[in-house]
C-alpha cells in the first residue's frame, strides 16, 4: 500500500475522546475507497483514514470490481492499524465495531465485513452491520454545514427530508429516525453521479467525472446547450437521467473532436444546470406531497458523493429557504465514501440496540426501506 494514496481526514491525535463517550471503529470498503475511522458519541472524529483506489481505476474509466477487491485486501489491515495509531488507541479502547455490510461491490464489502467480524469475534466487542446508504443518510448528524461551509454547526434532527445522490443511488427520502426511511422518489434509470461520470467520459475528461464536470461547469454558460429536464412536467418525485445522457451523446455526435475548452465548459455547465433543475423540481414536488407535509421536516439535507456539487448545494439551500426550512450538507470530506460515516451510523445503531446477534450475510443490494 503506497503511502501517497493515504488521505488523513482527521486532526491526528489532537482530538481525544472525553470520558463516558462511546467509541466506534467504522470500516468502509464497498466501492473504491478503503477507509476506517474512530468516532465517538460526542461527535468527535478521533482518526480517519481514506485509502483511495481512484488512480488504480482511472485508466479503465470506472471502478473495476475485481481490482477493487484485490486492492481492499492489500490495504485493509494497514488502514485499520494506522487509524488506531493516529487516535493513540489500541483495540481495547474501542467500544463498538461497525462495517459496511452492503449495498455495494460484493468483493469489497466482504473484505471489510470479514475484517470487522474477525476483530469483533476475537475481542468480544459488539458488531454493527451498517447499510452504506444509511452511512450517507446519517452522517449529516455527525457534521453538517451550510452550502458554502460558512456555518459549520448546523444541527440535523429527525425528521428530515433527504436528497441522497451518489454514484449508485438517487433517492428522495423522509428520514424519520435511525432505520426509519420512507422512500418519496427515486431514479427510474441512472443515478445523478452516474450521469456526471458518463458525461465526463464522453468528453474525455476522466474518472470520477462529478468533480471534473463541477469545476468545468463553473467556467461555462449554463444556457449554451438546451438539455432536456426529464419528468419535470410530470407529477411525482421520481427522476430520470438517461435522457440527459442520451442528449449529451447526440450533441457530441454533431460536434467534431477535439473539443476546445470553451465548448467543454459550456457543455458541462448546461448539463449540470439540467441535473440541478431536475433535482429542484422533484424536491419541490416532494415538499408538497401529503406524506412530507404531515411529517413536517424542518431540515432539507443533501448527502452522498454528488452532495459535493456546488451548484446542487446552493440551489437546494435556496429551495430550503423558500420553504422555511434549514439546509444542511455534510462537509465536503464526508460526502464521498468514508469510514467516519460508517462509524457514526454504527454508533447510532448501537445506541438503539441494533447490533449483530447472529451471522450476517453481506448484501450487494440492500434498500434503505429494508432495514
Q: Give whichever of 44 and 131 is closer to ligand KG4, judged by the CB atom.
A: 131
Q: In the bound complex, what is the minimum distance in angstroms from residue 196's beta carbon to ligand KG4?
A: 4
**8-state DSSP, 92:** G
Q: In the bound complex, what is the minimum distance in angstroms from residue 144's beta carbon to ligand KG4?
A: 16
Q: In the bound complex, what is the minimum distance in angstroms from residue 112's beta carbon to ligand KG4?
A: 14
**8-state DSSP, 137:** H
Supply the DSSP string of 249-313, one letter for each residue. HHHHHTSPSSPPHHHHHHHHHHHHHHHHHHHHHHHHHHHHSHHHHHH--SEEEEESGGGG-HHHH
Site for ligand KG4, rule CB under 6 A: 31, 166-168, 193, 196-197, 208-211, 214, 304-306, 308-309, 336-337
Q: In the bound complex, what is the minimum distance in angstroms from residue 304's beta carbon to ligand KG4?
A: 4
Q: In the bound complex, what is the minimum distance in angstroms from residue 315's beta carbon to ligand KG4?
A: 12
Q: Which does 210 bind (CB under 5 to 8 A by kind): ligand KG4, Zn ion, none?
A: ligand KG4
Q: Give whichever of 120 and 143 is closer to ligand KG4, judged by the CB atom.
A: 143
Q: Give whichever of 156 and 195 is closer to ligand KG4, judged by the CB atom.
A: 195
Q: How many residues bind Zn ion (CB under 5 A)?
A: 2
- Distance, in Å, from the CA atom of 342 to the CA atom of 124, rounded to the nearest integer, reads 20
Q: Give whichever of 244 and 307 is closer to Zn ion, judged by the CB atom.
A: 307
- Distance, in Å, from the CA atom of 284 to the CA atom of 299, rounded to the nearest integer, reads 14
52 makes contact with Zn ion (CB under 5 A): no
Q: Which does 297 bind (CB under 5 to 8 A by kind): Zn ion, ligand KG4, none?
A: none
Q: In the bound complex, what is the minimum distance in angstroms from residue 85's beta carbon to ligand KG4?
A: 25
The neighbour count for residue 8, using CB atoms within 10 Å, is: 13
Q: Give whichever of 31 and 116 is closer to ligand KG4, judged by the CB atom.
A: 31
Q: In the bound complex, what is the minimum distance in angstroms from residue 317's beta carbon to ligand KG4?
A: 15
Q: Are strands 45-52 and 33-40 parallel, antiparallel or unpaired?
A: antiparallel
Q: Which does 306 bind (CB under 5 to 8 A by kind): Zn ion, ligand KG4, none?
A: ligand KG4
The residue within the footprint of Zn ion, chosen from 199, 337, 354, 356 (CB under 5 A), is 337
Beta strands in the chain (DSSP E): 6-8, 23-28, 33-40, 45-52, 96-102, 127-131, 160-165, 170-177, 180-186, 299-303, 326-328
CB-based burial, 146-173: b 16+ in 10 Å, e otherwise: bbeeeeeebebebbbbbbbbbbbbbbbb
The window from 92-100, 271-279, 317-325, 335-343 that contacts Zn ion (CB under 5 A) reads: 335-343
Q: Give whichever of 91 and 106 is closer to Zn ion, judged by the CB atom.
A: 106
Unique residue bearing C-alpha cell 452522498? 304
Q: Which does 111 bind (CB under 5 to 8 A by kind): Zn ion, ligand KG4, none?
A: none
Q: Give whichever of 214 and 266 is closer to Zn ion, judged by the CB atom.
A: 214
Q: Give whichever of 265 and 336 is closer to Zn ion, judged by the CB atom.
A: 336
- Distance, in Å, from the CA atom of 182 to the CA atom of 32, rounded to the nearest integer, reads 28
The residue within the footprint of Zn ion, chosen from 166, 200, 281, 349 (CB under 5 A), is 166
Give the relative orientation of helices 339-351 and 132-142 as an angle to the nearest 10 degrees.
90
Per-residue cell: 169: 443511488
Contact call for residues 270 and 130 (beta carbons, < 8 A): no
Q: In the bound complex, what is the minimum distance in angstroms from residue 125's beta carbon to ligand KG4?
A: 26
Unique residue bearing C-alpha cell 455490510? 101
Alpha helices in 29-103 (DSSP H): 54-58, 65-86
Q: In the bound complex, what is the minimum distance in angstroms from residue 46's beta carbon to ligand KG4?
A: 22
The window from 14-22, 155-163, 234-242, 332-340 that contacts Zn ion (CB under 5 A) reads: 332-340
Give residues in contact with Zn ion (CB under 5 A).
166, 337
Amino acid at each position: 500500500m503506497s503511502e501517497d494514496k493515504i488521505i488523513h481526514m482527521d486532526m491526528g491525535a489532537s482530538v481525544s475522546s472525553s470520558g463516558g463517550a462511546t467509541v466506534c471503529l467504522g470500516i468502509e470498503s464497498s466501492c473504491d475507497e478503503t477507509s476506517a475511522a474512530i468516532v465517538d458519541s460526542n461527535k468527535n472524529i478521533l482518526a480517519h483514514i481514506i485509502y483511495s483506489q481512484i488512480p488504480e481505476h482511472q485508466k479503465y474509466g470506472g471502478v473495476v470490481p475485481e481490482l477493487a477487491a484485490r486492492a481492499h485486501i492489500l490495504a485493509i489491515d494497514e488502514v485499520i492499524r494506522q487509524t488506531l495509531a493516529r487516535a493513540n488507541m489500541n483495540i481495547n479502547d474501542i467500544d463498538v465495531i461497525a462495517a459496511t455490510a452492503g449495498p455495494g461491490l460484493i468483493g469489497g464489502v466482504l473484505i471489510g465485513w470479514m475484517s470487522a467480524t474477525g476483530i469483533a469475534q476475537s475481542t468480544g466487542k459488539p458488531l454493527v452491520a451498517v447499510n452504506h446508504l444509511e452511512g450517507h443518510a446519517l452522517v449529516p448528524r455527525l457534521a453538517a454545514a451550510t452550502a458554502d461551509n460558512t456555518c459549520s454547526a448546523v444541527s440535523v434532527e429527525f425528521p428530515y427530508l433527504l436528497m441522497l445522490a451518489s454514484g449508485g443511488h438517487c433517492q428522495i427520502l423522509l428520514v424519520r429516525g435511525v432505520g426509519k426511511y420512507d422512500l418519496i422518489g427515486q431514479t427510474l434509470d441512472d443515478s445523478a453521479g452516474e450521469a456526471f461520470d458518463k458525461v465526463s467520459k464522453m468528453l474525455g475528461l476522466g474518472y470520477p467525472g462529478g468533480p471534473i464536470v463541477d469545476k468545468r461547469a463553473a467556467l461555462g454558460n449554463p444556457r449554451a446547450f438546451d438539455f432536456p429536464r426529464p419528468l419535470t412536467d410530470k407529477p411525482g418525485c421520481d427522476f430520470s437521467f438517461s435522457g440527459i445522457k442520451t442528449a449529451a451523446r447526440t450533441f457530441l455526435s454533431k460536434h467534431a473532436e477535439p473539443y476546445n475548452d470553451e465548448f467543454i465548459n459550456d457543455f458541462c455547465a448546461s448539463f449540470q444546470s439540467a441535473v440541478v433543475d431536475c433535482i429542484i423540481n422533484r424536491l419541490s414536488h416532494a415538499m408538497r406531497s401529503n406524506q412530507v407535509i404531515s411529517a413536517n421536516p424542518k431540515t432539507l439535507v443533501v448527502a452522498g458523493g454528488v452532495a459535493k456539487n456546488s451548484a446542487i448545494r446552493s440551489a437546494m439551500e435556496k429551495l430550503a429557504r423558500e420553504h422555511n426550512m434549514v439546509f444542511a450538507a455534510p462537509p465536503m470530506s464526508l460526502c464521498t465514501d468514508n469510514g467516519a460515516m460508517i462509524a457514526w451510523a454504527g454508533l447510532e445503531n448501537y445506541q438503539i440496540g441494533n447490533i449483530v446477534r447472529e451471522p450476517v450475510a453481506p448484501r450487494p443490494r440492500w434498500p434503505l426501506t429494508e432495514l
